[in-house]
Amino acid sequence: MPIATVNPANGETVKTYEAMGEEELERRLQLAEATFRTYRTTSFEERARLLNRAAELLDEDTPEIGRVMTTEMGKPVKQARAEAAKCAKAMRWYAGRAAELLADEHPAEADVRDSGASRALVRYRPLGPVLAVMPWNFPLWQVVRFAAPALMAGNVGLLKHASNVPQTALYLEDLFHRAGFTEGVFQTLLIGSGAVDEILRDERVKAATLTGSEPAGRAVASTAGEMVKKTVLELGGSDPFVVMPSADVERAAEVAVTARVQNNGQSCIAAKRFIVHSDVYDAFTERFAEGMRALRVGDPQAEDTDIGPLATEQGRADLEELVDDARRGGASVLCGGERPEGPGWYYPPTVLAGVGREMRVHREEAFGPVATVYRADGLDEAVLIANDSPFGLSSNVWTRDEAEVDRFVRDLEAGGVFVNGMTASHPALPFGGVKRSGYGRELSGHGIREFCNITTVWHGA
């Protein structure tokens, strides 16, 4: 895949870039290793000063970088600006809390004495250069939620971004440099996916994080396992959205629309499978389909657009195949389901009902504005349908019954359970999944400690 900005709204190539050669990659790896030796000794106060400055610059740059993101991957520009604001918020959150999150831990005195020590503590130390392999769907946020905690912990970052968002990737390197970080603290590597394996095998790279597809995650995990390097993987998701009889059905249907089509439906944590109790199935499905039909599809640079084009032509083709397979299998198309005429990689908001286990869309992630609706006769069946997926990223549950909430929290196989609301990420809350959605956690204290050497310090009597 060429490294290029291709506008998905019209298919036109805006700008192309040459991949970095071996000599330039070697220079950058050397720089990362050398920079880490000194950056690791900087204080939390100094790192926080630099990260807060990066947040200030991002605030100033938001209108322009919002337009760039929209041009590169098609998200509505108002959502692009919101993404930039979220990144600045995360930077400030980690700048203000990293010292506390990584403070020395002191075991109970009785345990220290029992270990034979006069004193003992646990200290969090940085690992070194960390390779981040990032996707195009949230081209700023996916990177910042890695970079903010990693840099505050004293690591340095090497970014291999998706090949269709090179301008955003280069902007991130420039942002951190303008904020005052030393040149080698955060570097963008303009390379194709074929170069990732060699870089990950380099002894100077100490760990890796990847957000992306399951095949990409397997490849990185395989190489990292062979090299015995730490990895964090956030892969696909096919999140359930369960609606029970006690729920506010009208509100649930309204939120369901946003939960499905955020970011043009191209979000791992977007709700994709809507599992509705029989008692409220008809009422919910009617409102949900009506809300999906009412969405405005069009120019992503326009302020009143709800859904822009899919990011790639292949992504639209993949989505069409899932819908066509379900239609052939007997699923009902309640709205959408047909490619519009004209330029750009647009696809309409689509709702499928009567989906069976033999259909591909039941097992595969629909990465676009396509929803599947299931009928469940009770809580047990709802849980069975929700867990009948290879993925386990997050989940949504709508009920006013606390006993039902307890059951869902206990039994749903997911990294998050959001009750009477849609899944969203926040710096204070850990983010990640189970099953084929990956392992490890981003954000919160859990995320900043993922790339730390958790060191026991023991003093004899």
CA–CA distance from 407 to each of 278, 403, 404, 412 (Å)? 19, 6, 5, 8
Instruction: Give the C-alpha separation, 231 to 208, whole Å.
Output: 5
CB < 8 Å & 24+ apart, contacts of 299-306: 299/9, 300/9, 300/70, 300/74, 300/75, 300/76, 300/77, 301/9, 301/67, 301/70, 301/71, 301/77, 302/76, 302/77, 303/77, 303/78, 305/76, 305/77, 306/76, 306/261
The one catalytic residue among 72, 234, 365, 450: 234
The one catalytic residue among 87, 268, 335, 452: 268
Q: 373 is written with which tokens?
A: 């609706």
Please indicate whether residue 87 is annotated as part of the active site. no
Give me the residue label for tokens 């989505």.
319
Contact 236, 335 (CB under 8 A): no
Please indicate whether residue 234 is annotated as part of the active site. yes
Which sequence positions are flagged as catalytic? 234, 268
